[in-house]
Amino acid sequence: MTDTIPQPRRLTSLDDGFLTLGPDTAVVAGDGTERTERWLRATLGAATGLPLPPGTGDHDVVRLSLDGALEAEEYRLVVAPAGVHLEGGGPAGLFWGAQTLRQLLGPDAFRRAPLPGRRWRLPLVRIEDAPRFRWRGLMLDVARHFMPKEGVLRYLDLMAAHKLNVLHLHLTDDQGWRVEIRRSPKLTGTGSWRSRTKYGHRASPLWEDRPHGGFYTQDDIREIVAYAAERHITVVPEIDVPGHSQAAIAAHPELGNTDVVDTASLTVWDTWGVCENVLAPTDTTLRFYEGVFEELLELFPSEFIHVGGDECPKDQWRRSATAQARIRELGLADEDELQSWFIRHFDTWLAARGRRLIGWDEILEGGLAEGAAVSSWRGYAGGVAAARAGHDVVMCPEQQVYLDHRQHPGEDEPVPIGFVRTLEDVYRFEPVPAELTPEESAHVLGTQANVWTEVMEDQARVDYQTFPRLAAFAEVAWSVLPAPADRDFPAFERRMAAHYRRLDALGVAYRPPGGPLPWQRRPGVPGRPIDGPPPNK
């Protein structure tokens, strides 16, 4: 019952006995503990059937309190014969401690209703714990395959259970626009639906010949953000510019390079890869996206706003008289500097409104404002360069923590993409590059696992690719672990035996250790496997 994931910093057994929770067990909630108190009654109360009423005294209670001597996300959990005392440095730390308390109760505490005959016992322990990183993220790509609101709320609960605290929502791409912008109803009216979808890798001959799409209303977004906040999770939105923008151009042709392509004939893209149709570097485009971001800032209170900035082909700009005129007007050297100008415009615009820009590591090319941050996806190099230049970094290298990459070399692995990244590979991922000095390492805000959904057509496929590897990633993001080669993976596997039962109770369609179940396979659907170990740079 102490097989907790992520592994806490210090866990001490106080005795061989147990504390049993029953119908008379009360919750004594101090000031500032309201969110965790609500969660305990709503979630643990539902799973156990215990009322957990408000109470007083020191016996048969779960006592919640804050201790200003602890860090904001730090907690202390003591289970003694008289009751439970859970202290957090702040409301977030208290909540993370409640996640550990739930794990100690056993896998059935992860169900939505009580099973008959269950006894709710806690081992007598003292746990002192705090996270290694402040940014422990999961990116969900809801643009390629739309995840309905209920699915996003479910993933917020799964994140909370693993002590992850940043949900990066990839809301726009060539294949769909997923957030309502009231001043531009065409973005969702036209841009949120495509007529068909490539099934498998982009080289696949297979198509799903039916429309696919959907979007979140602004009230949906407010609900998602509020639900996340109750769980101490920040939602960071991504609106991709200037590449990955065909869905926006299909809705508003004037945003594209109209002097080199018939943008009025473009539709929302139905295949995968890097699309050549990119935004035009015009004042019209800048003003349009400023309007988009104005509405976005009202919906998302996050410090960071993600602007993408990756994989922007320059061929249309090379052929566009309008783009070439802008290069001359600004005194730029080439199209790469034009992209940098585009990104820096929104860097400045967001900074003036008290927010910070974050983008994929291509945004480093050409220079950034002081407050901008970088998501390092093309390996470690972008993160190293950013940290050395004084920029904050979120480490999410494709070769290590892109969970769309295949989990096993077996032929029955569904739609195999990229390198083999096993559960052990993810567990041995190290977010802080060894070549950084301590001062430079301080710029590593944390780490993030990315789930790109080109070949994930529904929730079950997302679950399969994400779990159980997200559990290993969560331990990397939270726990202070030895160097990768020295990590005790067999011990982690033993703890995972209990964790699989938690995932079962939560209804997660994870990849079993022995390989995919028959209904998880996708025979005949081609992927793009890459052989050999991934480059570690």
> What is the set of active-site residues?
173, 244, 311
Task: List alpha helices for 245-320, DSSP H.
Answer: 246-251, 283-299, 315-319
Task: Judge whether 124 and 15 are in contact, CB under 8 Å.
Answer: yes
In degrees and rounded to multiples of 5, residue 344 shows phi and psi of: -65, -25
How many angstroms separate the CA atoms of 50 and 38, rounded?
Answer: 14
Task: Judge whether 454 and 144 are in contact, CB under 8 Å.
Answer: yes
**Longest Cα–Cα distance in the chain:** 78
Single out the residue of 271, 223, 266 nearest to residue 248, CA to CA.
266
Strand arrangement, sheet containing 83-88: 10-21, 120-129, 75-80, 83-88, 61-66, 26-29
Number of residues that this document lists for the chain: 537
In the beta sheet, which residues pair with residue 529? 418
Instruction: List CB contacts of 376: < 8 A, sequence separation 6 or more.
Output: 361, 382, 383, 384, 386, 393, 394, 395, 396, 397
Single out the residue of 345, 349, 325 nearest to residue 335, CA to CA.
325
**Distances, alpha carbon 357 to alpha carbons 248, 299, 344, 414, in Å:** 21, 16, 9, 36
Rg (the chain; Cα; Å): 24
Torsion of CA 373, 220, 185, 265, to 10 degrees: 70
Which SS3 state, helix, strand or coil, does residue 124 take? strand
Task: Give the number of other CB atoms < 10 A from CB of residue 360.
Answer: 22
3-state helix, strand, coil in the chain (%, to 5): 35, 20, 45
Instruction: List CB contacts of 63: < 8 A, sequence separation 6 or more.
Output: 27, 28, 30, 83, 84, 85, 86
Residue 27 has which token pair? 């919750």
Tokens 């977030």 locate to: 92
Residue 218 has which token pair? 């602004």
How many angstroms separate the CA atoms of 473 and 491, rounded?
Answer: 15
Asked if residue 253 has a cis previous peptide bond (ω within 30° of 0), the answer is: no
Tokens 């643009």 locate to: 143
Single out the residue of 157, 103, 362 nearest to residue 240, CA to CA.
362
In degrees and rounded to multiples of 5, residue 348 shows phi and psi of: -65, -40
How many angstroms separate the CA atoms of 293 and 313, rounded?
Answer: 23
Residue 264 has which token pair? 């009025």
